[in-house]
Amino acid sequence: MNRFTSLAITIYFLFFALQSFSCTNILVSRGASADSSTFLVYTNDGEWLYHLNQTPAADHDISDSLIYKSMSGKSYKIHQVKHTYAIIGFQMNEHQLAIGETTFLGREELWDKDQPLKYWELMRLALLRAKTAREAIKVMTSLAETYGYGSEGESFSIADPKEAWLLEMIGTGGKGGAVWVARRVPDGYITAHANHARIGNFPLDDPENCLYSENIIELAKEKGIYNPALDGEFRFNDVYDPPSTAHLKYTETRVWSIFNRAAPSAEFSTDYNRNRENAKPYPLFIKPDKKLSLQDVFSLVRDHYEGTEFDMRKDLAAGPSGNPNRPRPLEWEVDGQKYSWERPISTYNTAFSFVGQMRDYLPNEIGGICWFGVDDTYTNCYFPIYCNNTEIPSAFAKGDINHYSPESAWWAFNFVANFAIIRYNLMVNDIKTVQSELEDEFVKVQKGVETAALNMDKKQRIDYLNNYTVFCGNKVHKSWVNMGKQLISKYNDGYVKDTNYRINSKPYDENYLKKIIKIEGSRYSID
């Protein structure tokens, strides 16, 4: 029997697994979007440099096997299928199926590192083998149940042009298989997750909208983590990912921010994310105050809690330039007391993010777009990659995290974001201006580009959209290389040059000066 090792088992995916307990996802049903798109947002937050790639469709001999290794080093054979679909990275396939994830860890005693299939491998296998979200859930859960799930607790976002689903999965602690539950996002609603299991109670008799493993309650009883007589109604997240004050602050504050901005009329309380007594968890699904456009979705994933009590530009740690970034670790201790910084959606150590846009009223090669960006979501720029494309802009497929090179898009964006920390409140406006100009341009011409593509045959469409994607990606990369050069020359030695290259002084903000005076004003007084 011929055997080959899955492409998913690579050094960079293993590194990704170690870094990814810090992602954020948003799911928008088509009834909640302004143009009847389904949207899926995935930020992959970790200190690594991802090379975006394209995997072509392929036919296979089903007598061949895939070989997967568990985290403990054991090798397992996984059955092959006759045909696999083309995919962009591990984000979207040729049928407009998109997948994202956030790790919730959960009960570590249930993490069986002897089992073969890790969550990123299930994501890739689902994209290779499924056309719809429901099919993807079946692929992922059946593989995990047949061969064994070898990762920690995981929340998966899975969406196609018609449906959006949230699937949550955890191991069984040595019993093989997996424990899992999946909920369909009701049409007209959205959901979000950020490293904490979100599914609480769920219907046991509604297979159209809820699916789950047979062992989901019995395993919890067997492991002694759920007692119906004492604990009442079974809630998946409370049982398999029990909350703590630090955990809720780190995770649910991001969910609160997304919900708070999508539906401000609901006036969601901060009580739950601060773990206050008798606080109610946020609902799994909410209806936004208005239907969300593509750019609304971009905006939801760009956030440091601006304008709220947690605004990271306003506290003392932000310094004189309102820098919302905080050094790791986010938890720290002084004189025996534990503290933690806020964890925002936008973070400097995002490797990449994407906004999947799926539309059932267009052919797949036009309807599915992976709006892709690298580095911090607040200062990145999304450009379109159509799901049947066969080419990736070269700058997004290269780079070494240990060696700076402006030829790598990740380095171009990372340099700009890091340099901006010097005078964040000033430079971020320059960055956001270019970001808006480019994204507005891409959105503005999208209809024209797609109308032109509709008048072509499939091969012509793919070639045309390949060229368009490469053009957009190259434009974004070039713009950020140039921006880096411009920021260096404009913001130099503490001065700021105007459009005529005249040097101007820009003092600290008056509010920050008042903080200095309050703490150590006598030191600087000259009266």
pLDDT reported for residue 258: 98
Q: What does the pLDDT read at residue 500? A: 92
Give the Å distances, CA to CA, from 144 to 112, 154, 438: 12, 13, 42
| Chain centre distance of CA 180 | 21
Please count the other Cβ atoms lying within 10 Å of the Cβ belonging to residue 224: 7
Q: Is residue 350 part of a domain?
A: no
pLDDT at 42: 98
417 has pLDDT over 60:
yes
Same domain, 297 and 378: no
Domain shared by 266 and 368, yes or no: no
Round the average pLDDT of the chain to a whole number and report it: 95
Domain that holds residue 417: 362-492
Tokens of 417: 């974001």
What CA–CA distance (Å, rounded) separates 238 from 226?
Answer: 9
Peptide bond into 329 cis (omega under 30): yes
Average pLDDT over residues 491-495: 94
Are 377 and 351 in contact, with CB atoms under 8 Å apart?
Answer: no
Alpha helices in 268-391 (DSSP H): 294-300, 364-367
What digits encode the pLDDT tens for the residues 253-309?
A: 999 999 999 999 999 999 999 999 999 999 999 999 999 999 999 999 999 999 999
pLDDT at 341 over 60: yes
Q: Select from 257, 279, 303 the last residue of a domain.
A: 303
pLDDT of res. 73: 96
- Per the CB < 8 A criterion, the answer to whether 198 and 190 are in contact is no
Q: Say if 514 falls within a structural domain.
A: no
Cα separation, 413 vs 407, whole angstroms: 11
Query: Can you tell me which residue has the tokens 């040595």?
Result: 174
Instruction: Tell me whether residue 513 is in a domain.
Output: no
427-443, pLDDT tens digit by residue?
999 999 999 999 999 99
Q: Is 8 in the same domain as 103?
A: yes
Residue that finishes a domain, picked among 268, 303, 338: 303
Q: Give the number of domains in the chain.
A: 2
Q: Which residue has the tokens 């159509």?
A: 386
* Residue 343 within a domain: no
Sequential DSSP letters for 370-418: EEEEES-TTS---EEEETT-----GGGG--BTTB--TTSHHHHHHHHHH
CB 338 within 8 A of CB 331: yes
Is 420 among the domain residues?
yes
Q: What is the pTM of this model?
A: 0.95
Measure the CA–CA gap between 273 and 253, rounded to whole angstroms: 5
CA dist 387 and 93 (Å) reads: 6
Average pLDDT on 176-188 reads: 98
pLDDT value for 263:
98
pLDDT at position 389: 98
Is there a domain that residue 323 lies in? no
Q: How many Å apart are CA 254 and CA 305, to the nearest integer?
A: 9
pLDDT in tens, 361-386: 999 999 999 999 999 999 999 999 99
Residue among 366, 330, 263 nearest 26 (CA): 263
Q: What is the pLDDT of residue 521?
A: 84
Band of residue 233 on the pLDDT scale cut at 50, 70, 90: very high
Please report which confidence band the pLDDT of residue 13 belongs to, taking 50, 70 and 90 as the band edges. Answer: very low
- Note the pLDDT of residue 527: 79
Does residue 214 register a pLDDT over 70?
A: yes
Query: Which of 253, 287, 303 is the last residue before a domain boundary?
Result: 303
Instruction: Convert 301-323 to b/e letters by CB count within 10 Å (16 or more is b).
Output: bbbbbbebebbbbbeeebebbbb
